Structures are given as structure tokens and as C-alpha cells.
Chain A
Amino acid sequence: MTAVELPEPRTGSGRRVARWIAARAAGALIVLWAAASGTFLIQALMPGDRATLLLNQSSGENRERTPEELAPVNAQYGFDDPLPVQYWNYFAGLLRGDLGTSYQLHRPVLGLILEQITPTLVLACAALVLAWAFAVVITVLTAGRGRWLTAIGSGLETVAAALPHYWLAAILLVVFAIELPLLPVEGRGGALGLVLPALTLALPLSGFLGQVTRDEFTAVLDRPFVLSARARGMSDLRVRVRHVLRHSLLPAVSLSGWAIGALFSGAVIAETVFVRPGIGQVLVQAANSRDIPLVGGIVLFVAVVYVLANLIVDALYALIDPTLGDS
């Protein structure tokens, strides 16, 4: 997850860059294909009959259905086709850019996703920015500053990293929205409503980011160029921010690619507790009702986001890494 292939240094020829891009693109396609196929198979092979599920969910019942009841549903959705045929139909649709129609909502999947994606992206980005801010501030202020401060900073990060989203969301809700009614319970409109859900996702992530940054940060503090910067009379804070931080961010940057994926899954909980619109809630609902096209569409969409995020991380890596920049 955290291992990121480094692009070849820019000293290489154009062909090497092209090959690198081609390799990344092929890798990305394989990820997307695997995501789509895996989702299809899991959903299709899970126990329970899909036509029964569709009928029972619309009536709120748990009962067996007669063949006469099932036949029209099976015919409509092609559930009685052999599995390879179903898979091919699904896949052919994907190749045409058709993500299919939701079984439950009777609407095109792509439209549903586009309708719900913006609030989730806003939430995930806000959480990522917040997490980075917390991690950087705590690291700069506490890393390598004597036993006590280091222990406090490191302890905070460990605790934060271990906080389960659901618990944290409930605590934040009770404390800041119910007991001290500073913020709204329902995070539906406006920036205020974004605060608690974003904090729910940002706090644990900041713990992870902080821990990997801290290790690197502490190691870099002892490097000779830091000593020489101090010798030139630079203030401690400036040394930490300008020189040490830049060197120690790399692991956290590569972690951020993974974090985007994690934020999407965490969004499920934040969106439910704080009643925010978004893709997470849609995914839960769709998975519960085994709405294959919708689940597949969302998983595929998240995979695309994930792949793009990692490509961006690679690019950032090249920008930040001083050794790559100097070459």
C-alpha cells in the first residue's frame, strides 16, 4: 500500500518515461478490471436469490417466492442466464461506458454516482487537509524536543490513529452538537455542517500521517545538513519547517494515496451519523440490497479515484523529493 514505485529519474530518455507511463496505465487498467470482476462475482455468488431479494425488499418481507413470481424478474434482469453470459453482458456494458441501471432505484448508475459524489469528495478533501494540518503541526512542535514533548506528541498520534470512526463520530456528535450545541447534528448544508464529519475522518488519519512523518523527521534532524543550517544561524522553527519537514514528508505523501481510499470507506460512517448526502451511504444501501450494477459502479468509481490519487502522489513525490529534484 505504502510502497510507491519511483519514477525513473528525469535523466532517462523519453522512451523510458513513455514505458513508465504505459506500465502505470496497464497497472491501473488491471486494478479497474479486477475491481469490476471481483465485485460482480462476490455479488452474484453470495447466498440468497436476487429476484427474491428484489421482490421481498419492495414488500418488506422474508419469504420464499413462487416460480411464477420469480420468472418475470429473472427474465427482466437476466438472472437465469448462465453466469459467464451475465458477466459478459455486464462487462460489455462497462466497455461501452454503460454502468447499467440500478436494480433498486431504477435509474442509471452513472447518474446516481455523479449526483452523490461531490459531497463525498468535499468531505474526503476537507478531512485530508485537516489531517495533514494536524500531523504537521504536532510533528513540528513536538518531534525531537526532549523526552516529554516527544512522548506527548507520539502518544497523541497513537491514540488518534486507533480511534474507531463510529465511536469518534458518536462522541463528537454528543459533545459538540448535543451537549454544547455549537455545531449542527445534521451535516447537510454549509461549512459548519462539514466540521464534525471531517474531524471524524481527519483525527485517526492524522495519527497515521503523524507517526510516519515523525519517524522520518527525527531521523532527518540528526543529518549533517540540518546541523549546517543551524550553524548558519537559522532559527529552530525555520530549520524544522524549511529543511527537515520537506525531507520527512515523503512517506506521508505516499500514504495519502492510500488515505484517499480509506477516507471513502470512512465516509460511509460519517455520512450516516451526520446525515450527509454522499456516495458512502448509497454504497451501504446498495450492498444491503445486492444492487450489483450500483455496487459495481461505485467500487469502480472509487478504484478510479484511487488510481488517480496514486498517480498524483507519484507526481508530487517527484516534486517534493529533493534528491529527485536536484538530479
Chain B
Amino acid sequence: MGFTSLPGRAARLPGLVAESTAALLVVALAAGCSAADGAAPDDDGVIEYAHEQEPPCVHGGWVQNAYLARQYLDNLVSLDSGGEVVPWLAQRWEISPDQRTYTFHLKPGVRFTDGTPLDAAAVRENFERYLDPETQNSTVFAYIGEYYERGEAVDARTFRMHLTKPYAPLLTVLTQGYFGIQSPTALARGTRANCEQPVGSGPFRIESWERNQQITFVRNENYTSAPANAKHQGPAYARKLEWKFLKDPTSRYGSLSGGESDVIYNVPAIDWGEARERFEVQQYITPGRPVALNINVSRAPFDDVRVRRAFAHSADWESAVRAAFFDVVPHNGNGALSSTPLHDPEFSDAHRRDVPRANALLDEAGWTGRNEAGYRVKDGVELHPVIVYPAGAVIGPEGVALLQNIQQMAKDTGFHVELLPATQSEYFGGKYSSPDSYNAITGYWTSPTPGLLYINWRRRLPERPNPQNNTFYDNPELERLISRANSTLDPAEQRTLYSAAQRIISEDAVAIGLYTQTTSLAVRPGLRDVWIEKSQGEPVFHDARFVR
């Protein structure tokens, strides 16, 4: 393993050298201390993991797909615990001075679990497929669609990506599970096979998928391509990983406490205290947008910035989150970015409850009348915003309690908030994607990079539609700031630009952050080294081993 030292690059991107060095250190450490301290390891265990939601296909663009991807796919690069990009399938890389060409040098001798060699043509094939409208992965498309010009297989072990313009977040973007590299031979099998049994080069391969029950992963005995931030190189310790879907929170926690599962995902808030005493618990606040209220600025009453600000001042968001989540999940009021590099903490608590100010704003906006129920009225119309939330799939019972708290508090300033649960089919079916179907809608987006801002806030233009902008907030200045930040070569300028963008979103009250998206795990004693990777909060089982 070598690392790159192009002259002049280190000055602009000091992270790259540091990250390669860190990667070397991690590998050295992992090689040096592989034996577990004292207890005898059992290297052929079967890990039973109780997860929550089941995606329609194993591979896709949802965070649920990213969780699975970490078990059977390898990416070009990985994000380490310090937030640095480290080698994975790409041992090293070079970036051209204009930042429009990335050259990745692939690890030699890697094969997919179907025997296909992993080479530059395979990598190119993956990107082309993810961006092709026929076989698109829309999350991959959302990130790099506008930047990817073409891929080039320079030779078997050298893949070059040409960009249309510089894209500073690129390497971080590539650490996400959606960007895992699949076997081109397997991809050619068609939709059904790729839905159920995608093939990668990762630590496990998919043996079977019993719908509504579990996905069974078995160890890839020939695994040689763990990322530099893995705790060990070589095949996984566990022989098998049973990834079970236990949607009911009581069953999930019961399955852990009764010994039927070794690890569970999303520990119910109510069991968190007990879980901390009996198990090893881990909680990771996933970077990206927190679960936020996206406010539709295209129609009344929220087309008036004064009404949006009044609404933001109507509720005590922090205490509402505390009460609903028993202090387990933190509040973050920055509706654009939370805990992502370059998120600006100045806006984490931007919207504080201030009833007199909210009342003054509403008076000023002409909502001066009151009806017999005490709600404000203007020109005979009640102040009646509809908040849509996807029940079950995204907003669980705690989230609903939170929204009800908000509803109650907003009543004091005269808002008649209506909460409208959307079923999974209504939500994904686009019933609530048109501008006239809601006044506010909840949403989140897990992402390790502020480049995410471009996805959510780019304008919706007829020639360049942006369906991910669900506030319908078309601000050319905001788009310009983010676009410049994504392509700038100067880190200091980048920070300033991203920060200015967050200020606009916060001050115009177009998105109000509620609570952070988290991955929580509870692991039973006796199972060591289950960890959560930093890019999407994916649980990692490659290093996990039982000790007796």
C-alpha cells in the first residue's frame, strides 16, 4: 500500500495525505493486535441481528439499502471515525489540479463472490448503470448525476472518473453504501436476480432472502478487501449473519433480552435505560439533514415569511423532542444540516419559542381575527396549516408524540395545525409531492457531506427539475452559494459559502430541524467489535466475534 504525494496538492487538500497515513496506521494496528484480550474467541459463530425495516430490494437508494450494502459490497473508499476518506477498493488515488479528474488505483487480486474479477471496467460499468435512466439508482444520480462526465478504464487496475466541473464532496459521497461496486456479471442477470441477490466483493455474500423474515448472509471465505478503517483484514470472523426483520419494537427488544438475538437495531426509547445496564449500547447521530419540517413556501399561509417565522417561534422544539424521545434522541433545529462536516452550529438552536414575537409577526401579516375556537383568521380564512408525515415508515410513535406536542404549543399563537398521517403507499406513491398537497412535510436525508445541500435546495426549473426540493423554495442566490461551495478549491471559502446557505434556510424559516436521525444498537455481552460506520450509520459485522 502506497500513498500519493502529488506536489502542490497537499496544500489544497491536506486531508488526503493525512488520511492515507491514518489508513496505514489503522492497518498496522489491526494486524498487530488481532487476538481478543484474554477471552477465547469463537471464530465460527452465527450472529443473529434484529433489524427494523425491510426494503423492497436488497440494493437501492434508501438508507435501508445502505445498511445491507455494507455487508456484501465494497466501495472505492471509506470514511473513518475521524471523518477522513481512507482506502478501500481504491488503494490510492490522485486528483488533477483542476479537480475534474480522479484517478483510482484498485487493489489487486480482488474478486466478486461469483468469481468475476474486480477491475476498472467493472467499476465503470457500475457507475454507468447507476446513472442510466433505465437502471438508475436515484440516490447515486442525485449526488453525481450533474457532475459525472464519464468513466475510463485506463488499465485493469486504474479507473479514472472525469467530472463536468469540480465536485469537492466527491470522495466523501463515494463512501456511502449506495456507491458499492457490484459484479458486472451479476448485474447482467436482470432486475429480479439483482433485487434479491446482488453480488459484491464484500465480507459476506447473500445466501437467501425469506421475505418478511430475514436475509441470511454467509462469510466470503476469500475476502481480502476490507477498508483501511476495518478492525482486521481478511475474512469475517462470523460464519453467518442472520439479518432478521423485527418491525415491532417490543418484539425486537424482547428478542435481545430473551437471548434470541445478539444485536438489535433502533433500541426503543422506552427501553434505552435498561438496555444501557444490560447490554453494550451504541448510538450514532447520522450526518445529513435531521428529521425536519419542510415548509411549503408556494402556498398560503406559509408563502409569507412572517407566518413561517411566527410558526418557528410558536413552539419549544427542543423540549417537545425531549418529552417525546425521553431524552434519548437529541434535538437539532438546523433543518438543513446536522452533525455533518461544515454544518454551522449557529443555527442548531435558531428557532426558539417566543410567543410575543410570534403574535406580533402574525398581527403584522394580517392574521388579526380570531374565531370562536381561538384560532387566528384572515379574510375569513382560518390559520390552518396541514403537516403531512409518513406514518410508520419514517415517523414512529415517538415522532407522532413530538408532532402532537408542537400542535398543542402552536395553538397558543393561533395556529390550527392539522396532522395528516400518510400511509406508505400514499407517501411513496407521490400523493404528497405536489405543491398543493401540504403546508409542511417531514423528511430527512442521511449524508456525510454538506454537498447534500445542493440536492435539497437546488431550484425547480422546467428544464432542470428538482423533485428533491420539497419546500418549493426557489432561491437563485441560495443555489449559487451551494453550487459554488461544491466546486470551490479553497476550504475556507467553502466553509463560508455553506454557512451562508444555511443562514438563508434558517432565517427564511423554510426548514425547521426536529430530531437527529440516529443509528442505535444494543449488543449482548459476549459479542465484540460490532461497530457503526460513519458515512450512513451502517452497522458493520465483518469484525464482530464471539468470545467465551
Residues of A participating in the B interface, judged by any CB pair closer than 8 Å: 46-50, 52-53, 55-66, 68-69, 72, 104-107, 112, 116, 170, 173-174, 177-178, 181, 184-186, 188, 271-275, 277, 281-282, 285, 287-290
The verdict on B62 contacting chain A, using a C-beta distance below 8 Å, is yes
* A60 pairs with B425, CB closer than 8 A: no
Knowing A53-B425, A186-B251, say if A106 contacts B195 (CB, 8 Å).
yes
Stretch at the interface among B83-91, B151-159, B241-249, B500-508: B241-249
A residues in contact with B65, CB < 8 Å: 60
Knowing A48-B426, A106-B195, A281-B212, say if A289 contacts B247 (CB, 8 Å).
no
Chain B 45-60 residues near chain A, CB threshold 8 A: 54-57, 60
* B468 pairs with A63, CB closer than 8 A: yes
Knowing A58-B57, A63-B433, A64-B467, say if A285 contacts B255 (CB, 8 Å).
no
Q: How far is the CA of A267 from the CA of B277 in the complex (A)?
A: 35
B63 to A, closest residue via Cβ? A60
Q: How far is the CA of A64 from the CA of B429 in the complex (A)?
A: 9
The verdict on B319 contacting chain A, using a C-beta distance below 8 Å, is no
Q: A46-B429, A64-B430 are in contact. List 5 more A-B contacts (CB 8 A).
A: A59-B138, A63-B468, A184-B258, A285-B54, A288-B424
Q: How far is the CA of A160 from the CA of B86 in the complex (A)?
A: 60
Instruction: Provide 8 A-B residue pairs closer than 8 Å at the C-beta atoms, listed in order of the A residue.
Output: A46-B429, A52-B433, A60-B65, A61-B138, A174-B254, A188-B213, A289-B424, A289-B428
* A52 pairs with B251, CB closer than 8 A: no
B residues in contact with A281, CB < 8 Å: 211-212
* B425 pairs with A46, CB closer than 8 A: yes
B466 to A, closest residue via Cβ? A63
Q: Which of B57, B247, B258 contacts A272 (CB 8 A)?
A: B247
* A288 pairs with B423, CB closer than 8 A: yes
Q: How far is the CA of A49 from the CA of B54 in the complex (A)?
A: 22
B residues in contact with A46, CB < 8 Å: 425, 429
Chain B nearest CB: distance from A88 CB in Å?
Answer: 24
* A60 pairs with B61, CB closer than 8 A: yes
A residues in contact with B56, CB < 8 Å: 57-58, 104-105, 289
* B210 pairs with A277, CB closer than 8 A: yes
The verdict on B431 contacting chain A, using a C-beta distance below 8 Å, is yes
B135 to A, closest residue via Cβ? A72
* B251 pairs with A275, CB closer than 8 A: yes
The verdict on B427 contacting chain A, using a C-beta distance below 8 Å, is yes
A residues in contact with B62, CB < 8 Å: 58-61
B residues in contact with A106, CB < 8 Å: 191-192, 195-196
Q: Which of A47, A60, A184 contacts B426 (CB 8 A)?
A: A47
Q: How far is the CA of A282 from the CA of B212 in the complex (A)?
A: 7
Q: Number of contacting residues on B, CB 8 A?
A: 56
Chain A nearest CB: distance from B210 CB in Å?
Answer: 7
* A107 pairs with B254, CB closer than 8 A: no
B residues in contact with A48, CB < 8 Å: 425-426, 429-431
* A185 pairs with B260, CB closer than 8 A: yes
B209 to A, closest residue via Cβ? A105
- Which of A58, A170, A188 is the most central at the interface, judged by chain B CB atoms within 10 Å of its CB? A58
A279 to B, closest residue via Cβ? B212
B residues in contact with A274, CB < 8 Å: 251
Q: How far is the CA of A72 from the CA of B136 in the complex (A)?
A: 12
Q: How far is the CA of A247 from the CA of B247 in the complex (A)?
A: 45
Q: How far is the CA of A290 from the CA of B133 in the complex (A)?
A: 23
B435 to A, closest residue via Cβ? A64
Chain B nearest CB: distance from A119 CB in Å?
Answer: 10
Chain A nearest CB: distance from B41 CB in Å?
Answer: 27
Closest A-B pairs by Cβ, 8 of them: A60-B62, A48-B429, A63-B467, A59-B61, A106-B192, A53-B429, A281-B212, A52-B430
The verdict on B115 contacting chain A, using a C-beta distance below 8 Å, is no
The verdict on B465 contacting chain A, using a C-beta distance below 8 Å, is yes
A287 to B, closest residue via Cβ? B425
* B195 pairs with A105, CB closer than 8 A: yes
Q: How far is the CA of A47 from the CA of B434 in the complex (A)?
A: 13
User: What per-residue 1/0 map shows which CB atoms of B493-518 lie under 8 Å from chain A?
Assistant: 00000000000000000000000000
User: What per-residue 1/0 map shows which CB atoms of B196-232 lie under 8 Å from chain A?
Assistant: 1000000000000011110000000000000000000
* A50 pairs with B429, CB closer than 8 A: yes
Q: Which of B213, B258, B433 contacts A185 (CB 8 A)?
A: B258
A residues in contact with B258, CB < 8 Å: 177-178, 181, 184-185
* A185 pairs with B60, CB closer than 8 A: no
A residues in contact with B340, CB < 8 Å: none
* B195 pairs with A273, CB closer than 8 A: no
* B429 pairs with A63, CB closer than 8 A: no
Chain A nearest CB: distance from B389 CB in Å?
Answer: 11
* A290 pairs with B254, CB closer than 8 A: no
Chain B 101-158 residues near chain A, CB threshold 8 A: 133-134, 136-139
* A185 pairs with B424, CB closer than 8 A: no
A residues in contact with B255, CB < 8 Å: 185-186, 275
* A178 pairs with B57, CB closer than 8 A: no
The verdict on B71 contacting chain A, using a C-beta distance below 8 Å, is no
A residues in contact with B134, CB < 8 Å: 72
